Amino acid sequence: MITMEDWAEIRRLHRAEKMPKKQIAERLGVSRTTVYRALESTEPPKYQRASKGSIVDAVVPEIHKLLKDAPRMPATVIAERLQWQHSMTILKDRVRQIRPLYTGVDPADRLEHAPGEAAQFDLWFPEPKIPVGFSQVRVLPVLVMTLTFSRFLRARMIPSRQSGDLLAGMWHLITGVGAVSKSLIWDREAAIAPKGKPLPAVQGFAGTIAAKMIIAPARDPEFKGMTERNNQFFETSFLPGRTFGSPQDFNAQMEAWLETRANQRLVRSLGDRPVNVLDQDRAAMTALPPSPPAVGLNFQIRLGRDYYVRVDTNDYSVDPRYIGRLVQVTTTLERILVVCDGETVADHPRCWATAQTITDPGHVATAKMLRAHYNQIRRRPVGRDTEVAYRPLSVYDELFGLRSAPAAPAPVTEQEAV
């Protein structure tokens, strides 16, 4: 085989010095056939070892048969069926080459995102448990939003995965940008679109902000792969080395990190930083609506003698003067509000723990006063000059059929009267 040095020298002598092929062969001490081949080749010579085959070659027909019947059969099951006693690596490599013949290939196209076109949403569940008070710790969801054009990121930890809290989190993230993307992309989250169709509350939210809800197909994480990858980005770049004292502490650290690190990073596909491209993205979005959409948990209930309302497993006290009346309970990500006829009758910070009782001391004092007044009325004696009506017991006997009514007296004649 000709060496790289001889190949290069033959081509130089022939092209640069115009030396005849016969003379080149004599000068370099090689055959004229070697000179001819060197001048005809377009690539430098390289060593190639002759293939000796593989131990897997003997079972390739059996692999084809198994994959033809079950294209998704794992390589470990194939090894079991073949009673494979050798290296799993070489078997998996060959199965990986053969499988596309039966499953087909699903290429992923590169997508072009226009300014203001879409925002992708997803839930991220960071592993660290967050202290939420009352000696409790919880793994809480973080709602993540990614603007598809500018790659601008926003995220916030929320109390639960209920529809009201998800919508409240979305509204918080959207208002932080200052405009609404034309499309909001979600997967089939149970509180958003469990069967591929947005729930009524979600449709109402989208209609109020004039955005289109797009739900990803089932089992297709690549549909919103941009925000899926950002979740991994958070795992590797935000969490390491951090501790959190509360959900509020988590959100404060996340907000600072997004502002100083994540949205300042250089994105190769953009050739710029998200914070620098945000204005171009925002200019193509829809303006925020004049009235905010309905978000949070909302319900109406008649306040019972036990003057508490239950919200997400926790009980919150209400002004007991409104016992027996219908009250409207509204939650935000931070507060629990109870309103009756336009008047706020309870306002509590939202508790992120579970199964707790949150009491306003003022409500307890009011209940004590009302209870004392009620007991005073009950113990008030009846006045002496009050006339009390009494019925003869015979009336009740006659009413329940215990005794027949007395016969009416016979009429008196004129003679008897005289």
Do 240 and 327 belong to one domain? no
**Bridge partners for 130 per DSSP:** 138
Return the half-sphere exposure (C-beta side, CA atoms, 13 A cut-off) of residue 104: 2
Could you list the residue range(s) of the whole structural domain that residue 31 is in? 4-40
- Are both 122 and 208 inside the same structural domain? yes
Contact 145, 154 (CB under 8 A): yes
> How many CB atoms are located within 10 Å of the residue 203 CB?
13
* 399 domain residue, yes or no: no
- For residue 39, the one-letter residue type is L
Shared domain for 264 and 171, answered yes or no, is: yes
Same domain for 267 and 128, yes or no, is: yes
Strands 183-186 and 212-215: parallel
- β-strand pairing of 298-302 with 326-331: antiparallel
In a domain, 388, yes or no: no
Torsion of CA 253, 259, 264, 268, to 10 degrees: 80
Model pLDDT, residue 15: 85
Dist CA 3 CA 13 (whole Å): 16
Query: Do residue 128 and residue 261 come from a single domain?
Result: yes
Q: Is the residue at 60 inside a domain? A: yes
Angle, helices 75-82/60-69, rounded to nearest 10 degrees: 120
Q: Residue 151: which residues within 8 A CB-CB, separation 6 or more?
A: 226, 267, 270, 274, 277
- Measured CA to CA, the distance from residue 386 to residue 182 in angstroms comes to 76
**In the prediction, which pLDDT does 391 show?**
72
* Residue 414 belongs to some domain of the structure: no
Residues 76, 190: one domain?
A: no
Q: Name which of 167, 205, 189, 117 is nearest 197 in CA terms.
A: 189
402 lies in a domain? no
Q: How many CA atoms lie within 13 A of 347 on its CB side?
A: 3
The predicted structure's pLDDT at residue 343: 95
Give pLDDT tens digits along the chain (418 positions): 678 888 888 888 888 888 998 898 888 888 988 888 888 887 888 777 777 788 999 999 999 999 999 999 999 999 999 999 999 999 999 999 999 999 887 776 566 789 999 999 999 999 999 999 999 999 999 999 999 999 999 999 999 999 999 999 999 999 999 999 999 999 999 999 999 999 999 999 999 999 999 999 887 777 888 888 999 999 999 999 999 999 999 999 999 999 999 999 999 988 999 999 999 999 999 999 999 999 999 999 999 999 999 999 999 999 999 999 999 999 999 999 999 999 999 999 999 999 999 999 999 999 999 999 988 888 776 555 556 566 777 776 776 666 555 555 555 455 544 4
pLDDT value of residue 402: 65
In this structure, are 62 and 188 located in the same domain? no
Give the integer Cα–Cα distance in Å for 375 and 380. Answer: 9
Tokens read off for 8 = 């290069």
**Do 142 and 271 belong to one domain?**
yes
pLDDT of residue 417: 46
pLDDT attached to residue 205: 96
Same-domain check for residues 70 and 179: no
Q: Please tell me whether residues 278 and 131 are part of one structural domain.
A: yes
- CA–CA separation, 314 and 323 (whole Å): 19
Q: How many domains does the chain have?
A: 4
* Amino acid at residue number 132: V
Distance CA 260, CA 255 (A): 9
Q: Are 154 and 284 a contacting pair, CB within 8 Å? A: no
Same domain (yes/no): 278, 137: yes
